[in-house]
Structure 1
Amino acid sequence: YDPPILLMDEPLSALDKKLREEIQGEIRRIHRETGVTILYVTHDQEEALHLSDRIALFKDGRIEQTGTGEDLYLRPATDFVAGFIGNSNFLAAEHLDTINGTATIRMTDGSVISGVRPNGTFGKGQKTRLMIRPEAFSMERSPASAELNVEIVDIAFYGERRRIVARIAAGQEVDIRPTSAAMQSQGVSPCSR
């Protein structure tokens, strides 16, 4: 039997994490060796990113965005895509200027961030939202060198990574995911600024 397309609907959802990762490797190997087209249905975003050449992300029965996992993760077309594929922080901002495809914005606390890749066209002074992935933050102990000052509220240990809940000056909490090594090198702890 040599099917032209193989439909897999949540085939690994009942497996534990370790076995699920092993079977994902087998599915990738089978795909590579046979070249069969696999239509893989999953609600697990990591699974989709790991297994897919192309992803179609649906919302309310309609396609929200299609592309590679990297496209959807790094260049989400909508807030829904940004929030569904990975974790995202959305912060209120004001667009100041765009030069050569990169924008400069002012955050609600008055801090200015440059080098932002805009998703669309914005006029000077236009209100917008900045989407920052938790792993995109870098940590500095010196508030003078920081583009966005935060106060650390909580730190959770996840092995190679930590999850930090931090509060920006405007009171909004953000999710930061540095490596454990980066945390140790900066000496960061709860209530640090």
Structure 2
Amino acid sequence: MGIESDLFCSNLVRRFGSNAAVDHVSLDVPAGTFFSILGPSGCGKTTLLRLLAGFDRPDEGDIHIRGARMNDVPPNRRPVNMVFQHLALFPTMSVGDNIGYGLKRQKVPAAERRTRIARVLEQVGLPGMENRNPGELSGGQRQRVALARCLVLEPTLLLLDEPLGALDLKLREQMKIELKHLQKAFGTTFVYITHDQSEAMVMSDQVAVMKDGRFDQVAPPEELYREPATPFVAGFVGDNNRLTGELVAVQDGLAELRLDDGSMVRGRLGQSSPPIGERADLFIRPESLVLGGDALRPDYSALRASVTATLFDGANSRLEADSAGQTLYARLPQDGSAPRLREGAGVQLAWDPMLARVFAPGAV
């Protein structure tokens, strides 16, 4: 257990019949961290959050918050608060009464309640709104009231269960930045549940990618993106091209694959590499693909392809091309450096092998 850990869990298990929704999960979250648990629906992340909150109990393993074992501590006695997706504000109470509800239940004196409510409203950017009704606020303002209601209690952990899921796209993008700023301003440890990789990548200090009740990888966002530990992480975090072939050689950490059309390609070996002669998957990011030409380095891998579509996407164009029945995606800059390509045009798509990862076949 880390000396400055706000949350430490060891080998947590929660079963429902023969199914382990949480399967020997361990984590160590330092104080003041924005920690996200990212995974698809049904992977166990909400069950894990319920264990942390005390709404459910683990079948095995331990939960420690600030060094104290929490397994038998009821939810209302844990130094934890929770923000739900639908916020659960009291519609007939004022903003101030919503925020002060927990303080009132703790029998905090009225004068101190008013001081703390005013202070937290200032901190979340809603000064002077104590007497407003939640129905008069925008979606983003209601979101901040829900956060203020939790943060005013000064919890050790703030648990957030997909709180941005009900917001429209533009507001969701804005709230991602605001949530990160608020977490840093308060210094509270956030444990954030999401299936949206963009939320996790933008806001988090550490991200745990969850699959089938287990953590596939726990790392900072940039490491997850650039150094995926498993084929599932490579396929789930960000866009990736996936090429399958036979592993024919390994030298100096680089694997060489023969694709089904006979093309030879290379990439760095991942943690799970198959034996020579077995099938393997190569993953390469769309932004790592470049259009081939005379200036290509001799160590680059390259495939011949035919353009099937070019799609405008803001700062980039999304190029789709077919290579022997395999669809490849590339991102080309809109700065005039990339040629204008028509459907059916022949291209060469190439990449630096150090930017590709090769794994034994696995679920993506």
1:77-88 equivalences under 5 Å are 77-88=229-240
| 2:265 matched residue in structure 1 | 113
| 1:188 matched residue in structure 2 | 341
CA contact (8 A) 1:90 1:130 kept: yes
Distance change (3 Å), C-alpha of 1:48 and 1:71: same
1:152 maps to 2:310:
no
Q: Per-residue deviation at 1:177? A: 2.3
Q: Per-residue deviation at 1:187? A: 2.8
Distance change (3 Å), C-alpha of 1:121 and 1:10: closer
Q: Per-residue deviation at 1:122? A: 4.3
- Please give the alpha-carbon distance, in whole angstroms, between the structure 2 residues aligned to 1:112 and 1:78: 22
| 2:317 matched residue in structure 1 | 162
CA contact (8 A) 1:139 1:186 kept: no
Match of 1:8 among 160, 174, 179: 160
Distance change (3 Å), C-alpha of 1:122 and 1:43: closer
Q: Which amino acid aligns with 1:174?
A: L
CA deviation vs aligned residue, 1:75-118 (integer Å, no higher than 9, x gap): 2233222221112221112323322222333333333334x111
| 1:136 matched residue in structure 2 | 288
Q: Which amino acid aligns with 2:282?
A: L
CA deviation vs aligned residue, 1:155-179 (integer Å, no higher than 9, x gap): 111111222221112x121222222
| Larger relative contact order (Cα-Cα within 8 Å, sequence gap ≥ 6) | 2
Q: Per-residue deviation at 1:14? A: 2.1
Match of 2:214 among 43, 62, 66: 62
Q: Per-residue deviation at 1:47? A: 0.8
State the superposition RMSD in angstroms: 2.3
* Number of aligned residue pairs: 189
- Please give the alpha-carbon distance, in whole angstroms, between the structure 2 residues aligned to 1:58 and 1:65: 8
Unmatched tracts of structure 2, length 5 or more: 1-152, 347-364
1:31-46 equivalences under 5 Å are 31-46=183-198
- Please give the alpha-carbon distance, in whole angstroms, between the structure 2 residues aligned to 1:2 and 1:34: 9
- Please give the alpha-carbon distance, in whole angstroms, between the structure 1 residues aligned to 2:248 and 2:339: 31
- Please give the alpha-carbon distance, in whole angstroms, between the structure 2 residues aligned to 1:155 and 1:187: 9
Q: Per-residue deviation at 1:64? A: 2.4
CA deviation vs aligned residue, 1:134-158 (integer Å, no higher than 9, x gap): 221111367x987111111111111
CA contact (8 A) 2:176 2:203 kept: yes
| 1:48 matched residue in structure 2 | 200
The two structures have a TM-score, normalised by structure 2, of 0.48
- Please give the alpha-carbon distance, in whole angstroms, between the structure 2 residues aligned to 1:130 and 1:181: 29
Q: What secondary structure is seen at the aligned counterpart in 2 of 1:128?
A: strand
Unmatched tracts of structure 1, length 5 or more: none
- Please give the alpha-carbon distance, in whole angstroms, between the structure 1 residues aligned to 2:327 and 2:335: 23
- Please give the alpha-carbon distance, in whole angstroms, between the structure 2 residues aligned to 1:60 and 1:111: 35
Distance change (3 Å), C-alpha of 1:96 and 1:40: same
Q: Per-residue deviation at 1:53? A: 1.0
- Please give the alpha-carbon distance, in whole angstroms, between the structure 1 residues aligned to 2:328 and 2:264: 17
Q: What percent of counterpart residues are identical?
A: 37
Q: Which amino acid aligns with 1:189?
A: R
The two structures have a TM-score, normalised by structure 1, of 0.85
State the 4+ residue runs in structure 1 displaced beyond 3 angstroms: 120-126
